[in-house]
Amino acid sequence: MRRALLIFNPTAGRFPSWLLAERAARILKNHGWEVEIERTIDGDHITSLAKQAVQGNMEALFVVGGDGSLNRALPPLIGSQTALAHLPAGTANVWAQEIGLPTLNWTRWLALEHSAHFLAHGRICDVDVGICNQNPFLLWAGVGLDAFVVHNIEPRSRREKNLAIVQYAAQALWNARKWEGMQLRVQAGSENVEGHFLLAVISNIHQYVGGLATLSPDALLDDGIMDLWLFEGKSISGTIQRAWDLWSGGHVQSEHVRRIPFSQIVLESDTDMFVQLDGEPAVVGKKTVIEVLPRALRVLLPTKTPQLLLIEPE
């Protein structure tokens, strides 16, 4: 029998999740899983429970929560035989959107049960993880405007999370009025770039901005490569234009946006940088070192995904 630890974050997302987590666990048990359930207290407790799952030789750690909860579970799971599995109950749930799981909302109360059903007989795959100044991330690392917004709106109450996308957009526009960008020096292998940028995003997945835009259309989770996207600009008009480019997909061809694939990269600035990792604020100084750990994390994926995610799909 496959063994798993299921943990749920009672403060994640828009809805109380304890009853829904128990219903999802029942689905897993009906499909042959032996499941233990634990309620999390805070981010450090999520990390501690992930370590407990690894030490207990669990086949999977099911996280009922959002992208931030997944991020806090990463450190003990990297390099282990315990797979990370997502039962999406967070605010944006971009990882769930990426891999094709239904997300919990006002019209989809059975989403966690459906996700549990899809993952009960899912496939375990090895995917890349990013390390930003020794802090891991699965989805993205952002430097600049998006990180500035995250630092200003987190943590949020459940009432605020019900307006997540609206709030984020409003905060982004408000902060863009006074955000003049940053001077960055970038070193990726033999390539060196210096310039003034509104935003720098390291992406491991296709989606961005709560799943509303496709940032890296050719992203693969297991190729040992991530993309750095540099968005030029110094003013509110430049911010609006880059935002339109991103939402329309025009950023891929824009002369004001640059993509740098890398396995290791160094970002330096003359001032302290605002950084977000998987949508959570992080403390970083004037220098950021990011490297890709190839296929360092086991994840549980549905049998079918909405797009190509792996070099070797099976």
Residue 159 vs residue 287, higher pLDDT: 287
Over residues 90-111, the mean pLDDT reads 87
pLDDT at 172: 58
| Phi and psi based region of residue 221 (left: phi greater than 0; alpha: psi -120 to 50; beta: remaining) | alpha
254-309: pLDDT as tens digits: 999 999 999 999 999 998 888 999 988 887 789 999 999 999 999 999 999 999 99
pTM over 0.85: yes
**Calpha distance 96→17 (Å, rounded):** 16
pLDDT at 170: 59
**Calpha distance 200→145 (Å, rounded):** 8
pLDDT at 162: 46
Give all domains of the chain, ordered by start, each with its CATH number: 2-121 (3.40.50.10330), 135-294 (2.60.200.40)
204-261: pLDDT as tens digits: 999 998 888 899 999 999 999 999 999 997 766 777 787 788 888 999 999 999 999 9
pLDDT at 173: 60
Task: Look over the chain and give the mean of its residue pLDDT values, rounded to a whole number.
Answer: 88
Give backbone dihedrals phi and psi of 239, rounded to 5 degrees, phi first: -65, -45
